Amino acid sequence: MSPDLAAIGQRLKRFRAERGLSLDRVAGLCGVSKAMLGQIERGESTPTVATLWKIASGLQAPLSRFLVGESGVVHRPTSPPRHRDASGMIVTPLFAFDPVLGFEMFAIELPQGCLSESSPHAPGVIEHVVMLEGEMELFVEGAWQTLVAGEVLRFAADQPHGYRNRGPAPAKVHDLIHYPFSA
């Protein structure tokens, strides 16, 4: 979950290298001292948003260019915690929450007979469920809906909702939780 702040320097360095710019040149373009730019690239300093903004706008690049986390690294979520809650639901994080992207993603397995009630999330939160294996019922907006493998469902999660599996086999789903820009 830790944002790997050194990576923003690496991305800046790479960005600069790709278009053959010197630190001096970049300093002139964006109004940040070349010593500072050097320190940022080496991870010896984490910039303020003000200076990062000067850098991004001076280089005419989106901010996300330097902020995005864990690019190009294969992640193996099996070793990190497969968490099991009281209802027996097994939750495995696939992509941890990233403030830049605004969502997180889990793999969820519901054993037979499992029932999991979920209290409302923050306003505007939207869940996306992708059914992978088995069969599941989802309580949303006052009604139970049945999903089978291959089906998907998007729903507002800022209200009471729940999952249950009354089928004969364990159910596997992916759950993507999106946290909104505006409430």
Q: Name the residues that contact DNA, by CB under 7 A.
A: 16, 22-25, 31-36, 38-42, 44-48, 50-51
Which one of a second copy, DNA, none is in contact with 88 (Cβ closer than 5 to 8 A by kind)?
Answer: none
For residue 18, the 8-state DSSP code is H
Which one of DNA, a second copy, none is in contact with 166 (Cβ closer than 5 to 8 A by kind)?
Answer: none
- The residue among 15 and 139 lying less far from DNA, judged by its C-beta, is 15
Applying CB under 8 A, among 7, 29, 36, 63 the residue interacting with a second copy is 63
Q: Are the C-beta atoms of residues 165 and 110 closer than 8 Å to each other?
A: yes
**Cα separation of 164 and 139, whole Å?**
8
Which one of a second copy, DNA, none is in contact with 25 (Cβ closer than 5 to 8 A by kind)?
Answer: DNA
Structure tokens at 64: 């996300």
Applying CB under 8 A, among 36, 91, 101, 115 the residue interacting with a second copy is 101
Task: Of 104, 115, 121, give the one whose Cα is nearest residue 162.
Answer: 115
Which one of DNA, a second copy, none is in contact with 39 (Cβ closer than 5 to 8 A by kind)?
Answer: DNA
Task: Report in angstroms the alpha-carbon separations of 100 from 14, 66, 85, 91, 93.
Answer: 20, 10, 28, 23, 17
Residue 80 within binding range of a second copy, rule CB under 8 A: no
41-62 burial, b if ≥16 CB within 10 A, otherwise e?
Answer: beeebebeeebbebbbeebeee
Question: Which distant-in-sequence residues (6+ apart) come within 8 Å of 86 by Cβ?
Answer: none
Window 119 to 178, contacts with a second copy (CB under 8 A): 122-124, 126, 128, 130, 132, 140-141, 145, 147, 150-156, 174, 176, 178
φ, ψ of residue 41 in degrees (nearest 5): -60, -35
Question: Which residues of this protein are in contact with a second copy, per CB under 8 A?
Answer: 1-3, 5, 8, 15, 18-19, 46-50, 52-53, 56-57, 60-65, 67-78, 94-95, 97, 99-103, 105, 122-124, 126, 128, 130, 132, 140-141, 145, 147, 150-156, 174, 176, 178-183
